[in-house]
Amino acid sequence: MRNQGIGSWTARRARKSPHALAVLHRDRRFSYLDLRERSLRLAARLRAAGLQRGEAVAYLGPNHPAYLETLFAAGLLGAVFVPLNTRLAAAEVEYCLADSGARILIHTAQYARIAEEAGSTQEDLRSIAVDEEYERTLAQGPAEPIDEPVAQSEPCMIMYTSGTTGRPKGAVLSHGNLTWNSLNVVVDTDFRHDEVTLVSAPLFHTAALNMTCLPTLLKGGTVILEETFDEARTLELISHQGVTTLFGVPTMYQRLADAPGFDETDLSGVRNLMCGGAPVPEPLLRRYLDRGLSFVQGYGMTEASPGTLLLDADHALSKAGTAGVPHFFTDVRLTRPDGSVAGPGEPGEIEVEGPNVMLGYWGRPVETRRALNDGWLHSGDLAATDEDGYVRIVDRIKDLIISGGENVSPAQVESVLYQHPGVAECAVIGVPDERWGEVGRAVVVVREPAVEGAEFAAELLAFAAERLAKYKVPKSVVFTEALPRTGAGKVIKSALREANADGSPS
C-alpha cells in the first residue's frame, strides 16, 4: 500500500481479521470489513463534495461510528481530521472551524443547531448530518479501494487544546505520531487481539481516542462506543459484553465504585483500568485493589499524542502519587531554567522527545518554535524523579485548571469576565473540589464596591455561562479590594491559590 497512515488501518485489519467485531454501538455491530467499506464510501462522498488532499474535515458529535469513519476517510484522502469538543459553545466551535479552515463539518443530529450557528460565518463550509440520508449514502456509495500516497510524516489531525493564552491551539498530530503512540500503549499495557475496550470518555479528547480506541483497533480488538458515561450501564457492559479495558478519569471510577451492584458484578475479566487527568486517590485505589484490580495511570499532553509517562499496574500502590516512567519509545527529561538536566529529587520542567511528539501548532509558528525550540517539547509542568526514576508531578508552571479531566484556560475565562461592565479586575484560579479534583474560582475586584455580594456573584456566573462551555464557568466568585501583583504588574496567582487553598468561599 502507498498509504502508510491511519487511513490504511481499516484495509490492513480487514485483510487479517475481516469478520472480527471492530465496533459495537448501541445494538449495531460493525466488523473490520464493515468499517473498511463504510470508510471508503464516506471518503468517496467527501471527495465528491470537494474535499482535497491537505484540507480539513471536522466532526461534531458524541462517540459514534461516524467519528471513526470520518477519521479513517480523511486518512484515506490525505485530508486532516478535526474532532470538535461537544462541550464548547457555538462561538468556540466557530473559532475552531475558522482556524482550521475546515471545508466540511460532519455532525450528529443533536448538534445540528450548534453546527448551523457555528458554520453560519464560514462561506465555504459544507455540513453533512449523520442521519438516515448519511446511512443511505454509505449504503449506496462506491466502496472502491483508495490508495492515496500518505506518509507517516504528514498531518493526520488537528486536536484543539486549551492553553493559558486563552484561545484554543490546534496541535497538529501526524500519522506517525498516532501510530507510535499506539505502539507505546500496546507495548506498555499489553493490549491483546481479543481486547474489548469500553470507550465512554469522549473521543474528542486525546486520551480516549489515542490511549484506548486506536490501540484496540490496531490490535484487532473490539471497541464499544458509549455516548456518555453511566455507571449502571458500565457494569452491565462488563457483565454482558466481556469488557476487558476501561478508561476514565478518577471521578468516573469513583462513581463506578459507589454504584449499586459494583460489589456484586464479576470484574474478573477486566485486565486494564486506565486512568488519566489526575492521580487516583489512595482510598479509591484500594477499593479496586480489594477487587483484584489495579490502575494503569500516567501523564500525557495532547501535544505528545498524548502518552508521555506511564505508571503500570504492578507499581500502582508502591509508586502511588507518581506518574510513572517514560513510555517505551518516548524520552523524558527534567530541566532547570538554564536548560541543564535536573538531578534526582530536584524539580525541573518536563520535556518530551520522541516519534509521538506533535508537528507543531496549526498556524502558529512562533508558539511552535517556543514549544519545540530545541527538538524537545516543553510542557510547562514541573516534576521531580525519585531514586528509581519515577516521576512525580510537582506543580504546573502554566495556570491551566484541570477539572474532571477537562482543561480550562483561566485566561479565556478572565477575558469573558472582563467584558462585564462591573468588573474592574479579575483572576481565575483552580481550587480543590472533592468531585472534580479542582474547579474554577473567580477572584474579582469590582468597579463599585457597593455591588459586592451573592447577587452580583450569581450575575457574573450567569454572564459567563452565556459565553462559555459549562465546565469552564467558575463554580464560585470571591471579591477582593486588589489583586496581588509583582513589581512588573503580573498577578501572583500562587498567592491567590494559597489564600483559597481550602476551596471554601472567603
Q: Which three cell numbers stand for residue 369?
A: 518554535
Q: Are 352 and 337 in contact (CB under 8 A)?
A: no
Note the pLDDT of residue 450. Answer: 66
| 6 in any annotated domain | yes
Per residue in 184-221, pLDDT (tens digit) is 999 999 899 999 999 999 999 999 999 999 999 999 99
| 98 in any annotated domain | yes
Per residue in 423-469, pLDDT (tens digit) is 988 999 999 998 898 999 999 999 887 677 889 999 999 999 999 99
Q: Which three cell numbers stand for residue 434?
A: 472533592
As a whole number, mean pLDDT of residues 234-242 equals: 97
What is the CATH number for 416?
A: 3.30.300.30
Q: Which of 116, 134, 151 is the last residue of a domain?
A: 151
What is the CATH number for 40?
A: 3.40.50.12780
Q: How far apart are CA 187 and CA 257, in angstroms?
A: 28
For 475, the domain range is: 401-499
Name the pTM for this structure: 0.83
Name which of 257, 391, 211, 387 is nearest 311 in CA terms. 391
Q: How far apart are CA 84 and CA 81, in angstroms?
A: 10
Instruction: Please write down the long-range contacts of 92-97, taking CB distance under 8 Å and 24 or more positions apart.
Output: 92/168, 92/468, 92/469, 93/60, 93/118, 94/118, 94/119, 94/120, 94/121, 94/122, 95/167, 95/168, 96/58, 96/160, 96/168, 96/170, 97/58, 97/122, 97/125
As a whole number, mean pLDDT of residues 140-147 equals: 90
* pLDDT value at 282 more than 60: yes
The count of structural domains within the chain is: 2
Note the pLDDT of residue 298. Answer: 93
Q: Are 111 and 86 in contact (CB under 8 A)?
A: yes
Share of residues in the chain with pLDDT > 70 (%): 96
* pLDDT value at 272 more than 60: yes
Name which of 371, 390, 373 is nearest 381 in CA terms. 371
Q: How far apart are CA 41 and CA 14, in angstroms?
A: 15
SS3 content of the chain, % helix, strand, coil (to 5): 35, 25, 40
Q: Which of 93, 127, 151 is the last residue of a domain?
A: 151
Q: Which of 132, 151, 170 is the last residue of a domain?
A: 151
| Residues sharing a CB contact under 8 Å with residue 113, sequence separation 6 or more, in sequence order | none
Q: How far apart are CA 280 and CA 320, in angstroms?
A: 8
| pLDDT averaged over every residue in the chain | 92
| 475 in any annotated domain | yes
Integer CA distances (angstroms), 488 to 484, 491, 492, 498, in order: 11, 9, 11, 21
* pLDDT value at 162 more than 70: no
| 257 in any annotated domain | no
| 71 in any annotated domain | yes
| 469 in any annotated domain | yes
| 477 in any annotated domain | yes
| 291 in any annotated domain | no
Q: Are 226 and 248 in contact (CB under 8 A)?
A: no
Integer CA distances (angstroms), 391 to 272, 311, 333, 399, 400, in order: 21, 9, 10, 20, 20
Q: Using 50, 70 and 90 to split pLDDT, how confident is the model at 346?
A: very high
Q: Which three cell numbers stand for residue 458?
A: 450569581
